Structure 1
Amino acid sequence: MNLKVKISAISVTLIITFLFYVISCTHKDELVPSGGGGGGPITRGDQHVDNAAGFDKAHSNVNWSTKYLGSVSALTGRFNTFHITRFKFWEENPDSIYFTADVWLNSVNTSEPARDGGCLLATFGTAAGAGAVDSNMAVIKSKKVVFSTTDKGYIVTADFTFHKVTKEITAKLSYDGKAEQGTQDTYGFSLDFSILALSDFGIVSTSIGDNVDIICNAAIKF
């Protein structure tokens, strides 16, 4: 084989190697399909729950957390009194999902009675004997629900009213499954969202951080 043929063969080999490298790298850079882990399209079931009256409060909860003094240890608590007044869930149709729920602020429970019945009530602007009045309630009402693109959950746009101020918030709704119980099934749902208590809702306190994370878990019989 003469020198010219050898050079041509080497050139062809280099070109093929380069093209293979480019194709391989391009494939690695492709976006992974959104399927809750890169395994393909997200699949959902066809569960329907339309029964706010079946709300099982004894097995549900509303929890919150923030940073004590805005930057140190976690300050956590829950509310003992809360309600779901409207609820409809269609697993495969987010346009048919809606809910309204509330908590009574004076039912706050941080396992510190002096704080719960004292400074926190003043911070919330309510009183120990208050009932279903605006100053004693935080209310969330869904406005729009769409599929999450990363998992089987749902992205909720809602109005959240707290401290007599209403702001639009974004929340994550998850259907956690069902269990058979007697003649009814019990369905589980969770809702996670965050608010800016100081900036958006006018809370005045040096004891808490601006950001407050809220996690709700609901059991509904249907």
Structure 2
Amino acid sequence: MKKLLIATAISGAALMTSVAQAATYDIDNEGAHASINFKIQHLGYSWLTGRFNDFDGSFEYDKAAPEDSSIEVTIDTTSIDSNHAERDKHLKGGDFLNVKKYPTATFKSTDFKSTGEGTGEITGDFTLHGVTKSITFPVERIGEGDDPWGGYRAGFMGTTKLKLSDYGIDYNLGPASTHVEIELHVEGKRQ
């Protein structure tokens, strides 16, 4: 009887541990099911849009306990792509990203707060151009479920606006161009 109680207690503890832990998802950038896009006004006359082609990361997520969610992303800043080679060369240079000195940007979450069914605010440390600041931005769950290949996936999006001078980037493109808008779209494969 004593052995049965111990075995039951161990099984129950293992079950509770597995239920309480969020699943790990790798961001599916190989299948091009994730993107990091940006847009900034150019002189106040038009929008310049682009993306970062190379990045990697993962996130933790459990629909039953969204407060336990977290994400880590590393962006290869040398992969900036505004669909114009000469402009990309300028963006990679000392006036903007200075990719020789700062070849990566990173985001590591420190907190997640649910704001409703499938929505929340994520807070974390964002490092760009050698400067780290805590930022908070809204996120939305797009969907989740089984994929056709026997796996399980979940997808999210989030947007934020960054003041360039907060990160030591103060090249003057006019008063309408002091901030850049970032969109993060991720689809993760559960591990």
Per the normalisation by structure 1, the TM-score is 0.68
Using the TM superposition, give the Cα deviation of residue 93 of structure 1 relative to its aligned residue in structure 2, in angstroms: 2.0
Q: Which has the higher strand share?
A: 2
| Alpha-carbon distance in 1 for matches of 2:74, 2:170 | 22
Q: Give the match for residue 48 of structure 2.
A: 75
Q: Give the match for residue 64 of structure 1.
A: 38
One of 114, 120, 124 as aligned partner of 2:91: 120
> How many matched pairs?
164
Q: Give the match for residue 173 of structure 1.
A: 139
Using the TM superposition, give the Cα deviation of residue 126 of structure 1 relative to its aligned residue in structure 2, in angstroms: 1.5
Using the TM superposition, give the Cα deviation of residue 49 of structure 1 relative to its aligned residue in structure 2, in angstroms: 6.0
Q: Give the match for residue 131 of structure 1.
A: none
RMSD in angstroms over aligned alpha carbons? 2.0
| Alpha-carbon distance in 2 for matches of 1:146, 1:51 | 18
Using the TM superposition, give the Cα deviation of residue 75 of structure 1 relative to its aligned residue in structure 2, in angstroms: 1.0
Q: Give the match for residue 109 of structure 1.
A: 81
Letter of the structure 2 residue corresponding to residue 175 of structure 1: R
Using the TM superposition, give the Cα deviation of residue 104 of structure 1 relative to its aligned residue in structure 2, in angstroms: 1.0
Aligned with 2:167: secondary structure? coil
> Any stretches of 5+ residues in structure 2 without a counterpart?
1-18
- Residues 22 and 69 in structure 2, CA contact (< 8 A), matched pair in contact too: no
- Residues 160 and 168 in structure 1, CA contact (< 8 A), matched pair in contact too: yes
| Alpha-carbon distance in 1 for matches of 2:67, 2:152 | 23
Q: Does 1:213 align with 2:181?
A: yes
User: Could you tell me the percent identity over the aligned residues?
Assistant: 25
Using the TM superposition, give the Cα deviation of residue 156 of structure 1 relative to its aligned residue in structure 2, in angstroms: 1.0
Aligned with 1:181: secondary structure? coil
Q: Does 1:143 align with 2:110?
A: yes
Using the TM superposition, give the Cα deviation of residue 185 of structure 1 relative to its aligned residue in structure 2, in angstroms: 2.1
Q: Give the match for residue 149 of structure 2.
A: 182
Using the TM superposition, give the Cα deviation of residue 95 of structure 1 relative to its aligned residue in structure 2, in angstroms: 2.8
> Any stretches of 5+ residues in structure 1 without a counterpart?
1-45, 128-133
| Alpha-carbon distance in 1 for matches of 2:22, 2:110 | 18
Larger radius of gyration: 1
One of 195, 203, 206 as aligned partner of 2:162: 195
Structure with more contact order per residue of length (Cα contacts < 8 Å, sep ≥ 6): 2
| Alpha-carbon distance in 2 for matches of 1:92, 1:146 | 13
Letter of the structure 2 residue corresponding to residue 193 of structure 1: T
Q: Give the match for residue 67 of structure 2.
A: 95
| Alpha-carbon distance in 1 for matches of 2:97, 2:39 | 15
List, as ranges, runs of 4+ consecutive aligned residues in structure 1 with deviation greater than 6 Å. none
Using the TM superposition, give the Cα deviation of residue 113 of structure 1 relative to its aligned residue in structure 2, in angstroms: 1.1
